[in-house]
Structure 1
Amino acid sequence: MLRDSTATDNGQLLRNYQAVRARTLALTKGLSAEDLMLQSMPDASPGKWHLAHTTWFFEEFILKPWAPEYPVFNRQFSYLFNSYYNAVGNRHPRPRRGILSRPDLSQILEYRAHVDQHVGRLLANDTIAEYATLVVTGLHHEMQHQELFLTDIKHALFQNTFAFAQHLHTTPIKHQPLDSKFAEFSETLTTIGASNESFRYDCEAPEHKAYINAFSLRTQPITNAEWLAFIEDRGYRTPGPWLSDGWDHAQTEQWQAPLYWRKHDDQWQEFTLSGWQTLDPNAPVCHISFYEADAFCRWASYRLPTEVEWEHAARTMSPNIEGQLADSGHWQPTSVPVATGLQAMHGSVWEWTASAFAPYPGFRAEQGALGEYNGKFMANQFVLKGGSCATPRAQLRHSYRNFFYPHQRWQFSGVRPATNT
């Protein structure tokens, strides 16, 4: 599934392992055991479960098959902390993860320490090539869960009427207004997808050719101010720009603004991991569903870009992966002016595309349990590109394909429109 230049360097791989595992624990700073047990909806998981499941991954796929003398920490954990791997066995129902008061947090931390100790011993072996790529897989899997940890705990803390808890304390960044421009791209035969030279998931391959018509892409994501104009023009009350399923969902859920927005004392506010803040009109709009992104684009006489268009534009005008990613420690989207090119293509907010999450030509799922990682989810979901302020830098690349259902909006998701030319 994965290839990585560190896979043949024992010492570097161990250092990478220790760094990723330590960062997961660092994300729990300031959170109580009670916070880490919260499950605010079936789509989200408790922080404690994320800590355990990422550990289960290394135990199940690395230690059990490759360390014959490994003493399993607790055989019940194989059932409790499996996520969706049917080939591994039965599992605790996902919507009921929040009722698992036991094992308690201290036992979960003991579990992590136990597995870390034995993985460290295994990586001290001089002949690691056979399972090194699996370790790299586990590290990127854990980085995905670091992002989910942030999105899930934000949604959980948001449920508190008084919003007491603050996960971090940061000074809000004041954004300056930017000119709204579109970059033009010519008709061409382009190449997208991942090569075999570095880390990738199976759904990113194979690298292949794709034809695109001429198009233009906005140089910055849509801002809060622009979204307020959509709201004030009865965007959530007029069915015209909405897809039928989207309109039905918006009415059922009574959407009137992006998730985490509220109007307080006649002023718009936004809930963040630093608590409630005054809405910055020039910041990128965030926490919107595919349905909302599509409706906005239709209302504004734009359209969503395709996955091929987005990736072609990023490779052409933003070849380096740089931007406001999780490593900055500021887990709220920001927008920084750039002199030329496309702004914030990486980080800040995940950007919805019009493309369904479907296999590329020649796609082959991995064999065994890890083949369940992506392929079985290729139905009824849409691709997002570019990463967000909660995405670790090492996790991101141009070919990375995130995917969610069109109604979901608790991720750091926004929109960068396209037009035909």
Structure 2
Amino acid sequence: MDTDAQKQSLLDELELARARTGQLVTSLPADKLNVPYHPGVNPPLWEMGHAAFFYEVFVFNLLDGTPSYDPSMDDLWDSFHVEHQDRWRADLFPGRQKTLEYFHTIYDRVAERIRSRALTDRELYLYRYAIYHQNMHIESLIWCRQTVGYPVPPDYRGDRPAPGEAISGDAQVPAGRWLIGMPGESDAFATDDFAFDAEKPRFEVELPAFAISRTPVSNREFLAFVEDGGYRRPELWSFGGRKWLATEQDVQRVHGAGAPMLRTPEHPLYWRWHNGVWQERVFDRWLPLAMEAPVTHISYWEAEAFCTWAGRRLPTEYEWEVAALGNRPGEPFRRYPWGNEVPDASRADMDARAMARNPVFDYAAGDSPFGCRQMVGSVWEWTCNEFLPYDGFKVDMYPFMSTLQFATHKVTKGGSCATSSNLIRGTYRQAYLPFRSDVYTGFRTCAL
């Protein structure tokens, strides 16, 4: 791609990130911008200010040495200086209008810098880093709305753009030698592909043959586990899972039924049995449970217990990536299950369009080389691996993107219905603590 085209691509992505963030904030009335305190989400105005601050640090401070827009706010927009609970303190932060002014001022300056300066590989890398970081926070803004029961995000259409015919069973993946990850051995600022440090460096792995489900686990399949008393059968749960169940129940007794996100676990987080039918809360509405849609908002411990009940197991992260991409040494490299064409609504449920309400057999155009469906989009899929660095790992420009999660989080793969389509690829590794179920997490299983 030539420099002018790269600049235009950056400007387009920057403007899209600006527009989507702005819509997610300004579409809420002022009294909903400071959401009730919750350990898994941030107030929308803080998310907006933090995104702008990231551009200041990694574009203007790092490249130009220019001072901040408001140095007195630097510690408050910096996630490593302001404690999570303090982000809700209205007395510490500017209001809606001043935050919007700050946000748009920084974006105007970034856009002007892109247009007016020569574009080096280092600058291209840093621009991309900041834009993709913001897209992560766009996903956070979406799951914030789900967590606190706010209206659907502006991009939500609730349609079914890519119906498919029902499929079931396992894909058979042969034994062999496979490629995992993205390049990173020699040039952290390579212009051909962007990848975060935890995806690098690429390496080869030898795997035995395995069988993996062609689709994510559906609500119908998970309901069978629920109705078979899965949450009340301790023999199905590991030590960590039993501890998670007990912790949820203890907090429920202490804080009462109104405690956010916490309940006596008998079913997934946003399900309920109401007037003789199963329902699921989708933002601020209770809707009939979409039986063929992927089960969402599932913790690692719930996924693990389901596997024990079903006589299955979770895939390793290497198995997952091989089933999704099928990259072999010496062959053309695939970024996505279908090849290298960018994701669109015919291939994946992303960009907050359908919010994982469509059947697990939809999006046939996104199938992997082995016939696995919806391995990109819909739900982040749990794997059995701890989030650890690959051999040869080197920290990129932002030292905390991966390192704080090593050894304490689990690896999820594939992106979700809330993930931005310009962010995800098959090599991307997202780290979540195993108890998290407020994010858009689901899973698929492997044969034992």
Superposed, 1:281-296 pairs within 5 Å as 281-296=291-306
User: Could you list the runs of 5+ residues in structure 1 that have no partner in the other structure?
Assistant: 85-90, 159-164
Shift of 1:19: 2.2
* Partner SS state of residue 216, structure 1: strand
Letter of the 2:228 partner, please give it. D
Structure 2 equivalent of residue 100 of structure 1: 90
Letter of the 2:147 partner, please give it. H
Structure 2 equivalent of residue 74 of structure 1: 70
* Identity of matched residues, %: 30
Q: Please say which of residues 255-264 and 4-13 is displaced more in the overlay.
A: 4-13
Structure 1 equivalent of residue 49 of structure 2: 52
Shift of 1:326: 3.0
Cα separation, 2, equivalents of 1:12 and 1:284: 33
Aligned-residue RMSD, C-alpha: 2.5
Cα separation, 1, equivalents of 2:9 and 2:209: 44
* Partner SS state of residue 269, structure 1: strand
Shift of 1:75: 1.6
Cα separation, 1, equivalents of 2:352 and 2:78: 31
The equivalent position to 1:318 in structure 2, one of 330, 337, 358, is 337
Post-superposition CA distance 1:183-235 (Å, at most 9, x none): 11111121110125400001100000112111101011111111111011110
Q: TM-score, normalised by structure 2?
A: 0.84
Cα separation, 2, equivalents of 1:247 and 1:327: 35
**2:430 equivalent to 1:402:** yes
Structure 2 equivalent of residue 184 of structure 1: 172
Cα separation, 1, equivalents of 2:39 and 2:96: 21
Matched pairs, number: 402
User: Could you list the runs of 5+ residues in structure 2 that have no partner in the other structure?
Assistant: 185-191, 249-263, 327-335
Q: Please say which of residues 185-194 and 10-19 is displaced more in the overlay.
A: 10-19
Distance 1:176 1:72, change over 3 A: closer
Structure 2 equivalent of residue 417 of structure 1: 445
Post-superposition CA distance 1:160-204 (Å, at most 9, x none): xxxxx4546755769999342101111112111012540000110
**2:152–2:283 CA contact under 8 A, matched in 1:** yes
Distance 1:212 1:206, change over 3 A: same
Structure 1 equivalent of residue 143 of structure 2: 151
**2:271–2:279 CA contact under 8 A, matched in 1:** yes
Q: TM-score, normalised by structure 1?
A: 0.89
**2:357 equivalent to 1:329:** no
Distance 1:360 1:72, change over 3 A: closer
Distance 1:301 1:92, change over 3 A: same
Cα separation, 1, equivalents of 2:34 and 2:355: 21
Post-superposition CA distance 1:233-270 (Å, at most 9, x none): 11000111111121121132121111111111122111
Cα separation, 2, equivalents of 1:171 and 1:146: 18
Post-superposition CA distance 1:28-76 (Å, at most 9, x none): 35311222211441221111111110000011221123345x5633222
Superposed, 1:172-321 pairs within 5 Å as 178-196=166-184, 197-253=192-248, 254-273=264-283, 275-316=285-326, 318-320=337-339
**2:128 equivalent to 1:114:** no
Distance 1:6 1:381, change over 3 A: farther
Letter of the 1:353 partner, please give it. T
Structure 1 equivalent of residue 189 of structure 2: none
Cα separation, 2, equivalents of 1:11 and 1:193: 28
Shift of 1:9: 3.2
